[in-house]
Chain A
Amino acid sequence: MTNSAPALDADERAAAQYPGARLPDRRRSVHSLGVNLAVSEWGDEHAPAIFCSHGGFDFSGTFDVFAPLLAAGGYRVVVWDQRGHGDSDHAPLYSWDADIRDLLNVLDSIGREPAILLGHSKGGSISTTAIQVAPQRVRAFVNIDGIPSHRPPPDVADHERTKLLATELSGWLDHRRAAGAKVRRADTLGGLAERRGRMNPRLSKPWLRYLVTRGARKDADGWRWKIDPVLRPGGFGPWRAQWSMARLASLPVPLLGLLATESEPMGWDTSPADVKPVLPPRAEIVQLEGVGHFIHIEQPARVAKLVLDFLRSVAA
């Protein structure tokens, strides 16, 4: 937030408090090939590190309840805002490769000891690729609903598929044409909480309002998400789920994979049966009943216990 940002009113100050949420113990910045990444840390800085990658369109503040629980279990928890997200720089262009390089630069920022990676959604996917790129840097991996599935899309006639693709493509190009001048829409804190609630229908109102105070900023005309307006969900490209799926089997580190049961707009709808044939040797898959895609945000205590138990079993 800049110095000229308007002050929070009493209601907004109250929203910035949430039971169990703790702001990072330390904040720093990692310079990744010209882009400044905002890094947050919780826990003893000499403890073994867990590097957490948030999902697409998320931000490190979504770890404010979950990360302190992992830190209390004896870990140094490192979370960074991906380029274009949260408090990190907005970049001229974005790509998978750039996110992987950023992840490895954040890893490098604390040394060369093999670390634990944890990633949610897109963060789970970039962590998977990062392990394949630099296996010697990682000793265990927790993937939170970031495993794709092989399941083909529902049957659509070819001519319908063409129309769908045409709409998607022209929509994307129209967005790119306008993106240079785009700013995110200003709203009230409550308005942004309500919008986030559509993606996270099981989160309480106070938790949603707290998340807004971390992922959005207050400008003179209202609150707006910090994420770069150039970014748009539902990108496209030649990516195929089977490339990621087949390579899951080659992961050389113990894996804990968490899956959801509740279908949601941002969810991946991957089931244990989808994943079973491609699991690496030391893998455990847990499906959490009644939980949606944002598993660790919805049930931080339950997920922290699973993660800490898994890490204990790996150490043993």
Chain B
Amino acid sequence: MKTRRLRHARIELALHELRAGAGRALLLLHGLGERSPSAAPPFAERWPGPVFALDFAGHGESSMSIGGGYTAEVLMGDADTALRELGSATLLGRGLGAYVALLLAGARPAQVRGAVLCDGLGLAGGGAEAATPSVVYPNPHAAAPPDPFALVELARDVRPPDYATAFVRQANELSGLERPITVCCAEKPDWLEAALREPGVQTASIEDALAYYAKR
């Protein structure tokens, strides 16, 4: 497995090439507290192009912040940094990575050729509404990722349904894809239920979703 080191502002990101190949990349985005797999997963066996996986800030082999500051939008910037490296990609995200995949599909509709949203840790985030404010002091001396600040902050990250649908609508209007988002989740937090009510969002198995985007 080859790893490329990319810079997103002051964070060094690890982008792992799980399988070499030509053509459009499949980019895997892990869940909260997870890290990239060390080999291409079985569901990607028939993907025609290369397979990459990104460690988000504070996770895996990517660097950690100092004193936190993690948001889903920052992680969208992480994934966008990988997208700059790859040119264009189909995204497959687990949990938190699924939410980030949706955001990036809306924010970079020309470069993201389909986003596949899968179950995984951190799918719900902090819910649809801002909870009672509270402050937690994670251990600032964590020696290695996952950064405890990332675990705390990204588990509290608010995800209003209409915020998620704004990104779906952008992907719909600007990607040129008929169905830019595919949902493969059993868990459906409010933001995902709302996304599913939008046109352009389909449900399918992971294998069928990848077969669909491989042709587009």
| Known contacts A34-B67, A162-B169, A180-B7; is-contact A100 B135 (Cβ 8 Å) | yes
Pick the interface stretch among B37-45, B77-85, B178-186: B77-85
| Known contacts A83-B67, A169-B107; is-contact A101 B137 (Cβ 8 Å) | yes
Inter-chain contact B80/A177, CB cutoff 8 Å: yes
A172 vs B9: C-alpha distance in the bound complex, in angstroms?
Answer: 12
**What 3 A-B pairs are tightest by C-beta distance, nearest first?**
A93-B69, A33-B67, A34-B66
Chain A: interface residue total (CB-CB under 8 A): 42
Inter-chain contact B173/A32, CB cutoff 8 Å: no
Q: Does B121 contact A (CB under 8 A)?
A: no
Instruction: Pull 16 A–B residue pairs with CB atoms less than 8 Å apart, ordered by A.
Output: A91-B67, A93-B9, A94-B69, A95-B71, A97-B153, A100-B133, A100-B135, A102-B67, A104-B135, A134-B135, A173-B76, A177-B81, A230-B10, A238-B160, A238-B163, A243-B129
A162 vs B166: C-alpha distance in the bound complex, in angstroms?
Answer: 8
Closest to A176 in B: B77
A95 vs B169: C-alpha distance in the bound complex, in angstroms?
Answer: 27
Closest to B63 in A: A92
A residues less than 8 Å from B24 (CB atoms): none
Inter-chain contact B73/A180, CB cutoff 8 Å: no
Q: What 1/0 mask marks residues of chain A from 161 to 178 whose CB sits below 8 Å from any chain B CB?
A: 010011001101100110
Using C-beta atoms within 8 Å of the partner chain, give the interface range for chain B.
Answer: 35 or more
Q: How far is the CB of A104 from chain B (nearest CB, A)?
A: 6
B residues less than 8 Å from A133 (CB atoms): 133-135
Q: Does A311 contact B (CB under 8 A)?
A: no
A residues less than 8 Å from B10 (CB atoms): 90-93, 180, 230
Inter-chain contact B130/A230, CB cutoff 8 Å: no
Q: Does B70 contact A (CB under 8 A)?
A: yes
